[in-house]
Chain A
Amino acid sequence: TQLLEQSPQFLSIQEGENLTVYCNSSSVFSSLQWYRQEPGEGPVLLVTVVTGGEVKKLKRLTFQFGDARKDSSLHITAAQPGDTGLYLCAGGAYGNKLVFGAGTILRVKS
């Protein structure tokens, strides 16, 4: 069974600080996706990384896929209150299904 462990589970920081969220597994994934989920809504795709070592940037968000395609990180620079939310990583597994991590709840205080 493929599992993804996300850390930290909860992060509370001040506006302007930087943060990193980690997603780790002992399994290799064909791709790694990061989502943001608001309460009562479905996950919204932020990015997909496919190649080992790949780095993608989305404004103040930087996503990295590990060389061995077993881990990924999400780094946010100069966090803003609007970044507050639940961040989920999900690994692409056999048959095009996704295996989700438990999520990181981010709270950015102004």
Chain B
Amino acid sequence: EPEVTQTPSHQVTQMGQEVILRCVPISNHLYFYWYRQILGQKVEFLVSFYNNEISEKSEIFDDQFSVERPDGSNFTLKIRSTKLEDSAMYFCASSHAINTGPYGYTFGSGTRLTVV
């Protein structure tokens, strides 16, 4: 069964440092996403990426965040200057889509980011 792979599984970083979270989406999927889940809270949408550009982003996804698909397989989330409140599980997902909306979402196992 195809998987979305995320690395690292855990990342501890000092406040103010830059972090890059990496993802390998499913190869024939067209849409790529980042979601986050703060401990005890809902899974929240951060950003969607299609055709090599951001298609939508939430208010959480401010100038400190950026995404990139540097080659044909990797999809990365960069946080430029981490804050304590960025501590969360970050999930990458990919999907194909039909005209009725998101379909066939697959999530990775997540990266637990801890900012100290």
CA distance in complex: A80, B31 (Å) = 35
Residues on A with C-beta less than 8 A from B60 are none
Residues on B with C-beta less than 8 A from A102 are 41-42
CA distance in complex: A81, B97 (Å) = 34
Residues on B with C-beta less than 8 A from A13 are none
CA distance in complex: A29, B103 (Å) = 13
Quick check: B108 and A33 within 8 Å, CB to CB? no
Expressed in whole angstroms, the minimum distance between the Cβ of A35 and any Cβ of chain B is 8
CA distance in complex: A98, B105 (Å) = 9
Q: Does B107 contact A (CB under 8 A)?
A: yes
The stretch of B11-19, B43-51, B65-73, B74-82 in contact with A is B43-51
Expressed in whole angstroms, the minimum distance between the Cβ of B69 and any Cβ of chain A is 16
Residues on B with C-beta less than 8 A from A41 are 109-110
Scan residues 26-52 of chain A and give those whose CB is less than 8 A from a CB of chain B: 29-31, 33, 35, 40-45, 48, 50
Also in contact, A92 and B44, with CB within 8 A (given A41-B110, A44-B107, A45-B106): no
Q: Does B102 contact A (CB under 8 A)?
A: yes
Also in contact, A95 and B56, with CB within 8 A (given A42-B109, A43-B43, A102-B42): yes
Q: Does A99 contact B (CB under 8 A)?
A: yes
Q: Does A21 contact B (CB under 8 A)?
A: no
Q: Does B100 contact A (CB under 8 A)?
A: yes
Residues on A with C-beta less than 8 A from B50 are 96
Q: Does A87 contact B (CB under 8 A)?
A: no
Encoded as 1 (CB less than 8 Å from any A CB) or 0, chain B from 88 to 103 comes to 0001010101101111
27 A–B contacts from the bound complex (CB under 8 Å) = A30-B102, A31-B103, A40-B110, A41-B109, A42-B91, A42-B107, A42-B108, A43-B107, A44-B107, A45-B106, A48-B103, A48-B104, A92-B101, A93-B101, A95-B55, A95-B56, A96-B31, A97-B33, A97-B45, A97-B56, A97-B58, A98-B35, A98-B45, A98-B102, A98-B105, A99-B45, A102-B41
Q: Which residues of B contact A (CB under 8 A)?
A: 4, 31, 33, 35, 41-45, 48, 50, 55-56, 58, 91, 93, 95, 97-98, 100-110, 112
